[in-house]
Homo-oligomer: A and B are copies of this chain.
Amino acid sequence: MSHFIAQPKQGVPFVSVQAMAKLINKVGIENVLLELTQRLEHDFARWDEFDKSPRYAAHSPDGVIELMPVSDGKMFSCKYVNGHPKNTFKELQTVAAFGILSDVDSGYPVMISEMCLLTALRTAATSALVAKYLAPKHSTTLTLIGNGAQSEFQALAFKAVLGITHIRLYDIDKNASQKAFNNLSNCGLNVTICNSAKEAVQGAHIITTCTADKKNATILTSDMIPQGVHLNAIGGDCPGKTELDSQLLTRANVFVEYEPQTRIEGEIQQMSDTFAVTEFHKVINKQTPGRTSNNELTIFDGVGFASEDFTALVYIKDALVAAGEFELLDLITQQADPRNLFSVLNTEQSNKSVSQEQVA
């Protein structure tokens, strides 16, 4: 930690996609998801310490570019993230993200990281954390509706955190389900591909909806879902993009991350402003009960909040320090006299932007 904060003049620690993949593989993805869930639990418990605001969103015909800043007074984080469903047809990511972590006292960035992988991890860990409090006890079967980029991370987070053993897959595109099946079959999970959403939800204790279309869709209708299950609805995450039949919301106890943002972006954008929801941190802090009976339908209307990215970035920073090795990016000028910025032009060296740092 002290290395990052105390010696910003050496450069900005950088986590590339390959470095992130290497780190995840080294720790083990299920361990990462489990540790991240613990960190999220800790940070949701200190919810009031975060300086929160709904994210900044620049909408365009094909998508949205968002900035998600948050601070706990000591560290500041911001994620840049887009959402462009049609990117899939250009062989580009629907969601391309990266993040920055800064030291509030100096304003200096202390880490820049890819967040394509990290967003998938934190989204899955958040889903698992919420389900830990809201899903029926002894849940073993998870249904995944929408088998895109997030699905394997969901499956493994629920396995690591809740002990899920059975996965039921459904996607309107069979190839997506086959892809998830192939990836998950070697992970110690019993995986089934289903032919419809209705078939997929049979026997499920937990259902994750995570589809990508930017429209008001009805992936699940009310008649398909019995009481007693936990719905993890994470695909509806921007204005005009929802997945659930509003009747389902009416039947359920609905939990959200940060109410002002979810009213704009979540499933509850379909409902009136007075539709009752519960912020999840209140469940962790025992200010309100979570699931109260086996017969209750619970819904997590997850849209992704900046504090989750904060938690994930701090976790990765600590993991990097523990690993004792990271790259440094030549992003901030480092002249001896801060006022002599002009001197940087006279001391231009060989064009070396990333160096490898070995930490004692």
When distances are taken between beta carbons in the complex, the residues of chain B under 8 Å from A25 are 345, 348
Q: State whether B333 touches A17 (Cβ < 8 A).
A: yes
Given the interface pairs A17-B334, A76-B58, A114-B332, the reply to whether A90 lies near B65 with Cβ below 8 Å is: no
When distances are taken between beta carbons in the complex, the residues of chain B under 8 Å from A71 are 58, 60, 65
Q: State whether B351 touches A16 (Cβ < 8 A).
A: yes
The 10 A-B pairs of least Cβ separation, nearest first, read A82-B107, A16-B353, A149-B341, A21-B348, A16-B330, A152-B342, A116-B333, A84-B107, A148-B339, A354-B354
Report Cα–Cα, A69/B339, bound state, in Å: 27
Q: Which residue of B lies closest to A82 (CB)?
A: B107
Q: State whether A17 touches B343 (Cβ < 8 A).
A: no
The main secondary structure of chain A at its interface with chain B is mixed
Q: State whether B65 touches A56 (Cβ < 8 A).
A: no
Interface string of A1-30 (1 = CB under 8 A from B): 000000011000010111101101100010
Interface residues on chain A, size class: 35 or more
Q: State whether A339 touches B14 (Cβ < 8 A).
A: no
Interface residues of A (CB under 8 A from B): 8-9, 14, 16-19, 21-22, 24-25, 29, 51, 53, 56, 58, 60, 62-65, 67, 69, 71, 73, 76, 78, 80, 82-84, 87-88, 90-94, 96, 98, 100, 102, 104-109, 114, 116-117, 120, 147-150, 152-153, 176, 179, 183, 327, 329-334, 336-345, 347-354
Report Cα–Cα, A145/B75, bound state, in Å: 34
| A235 nearest CB across to chain B (Å) | 13
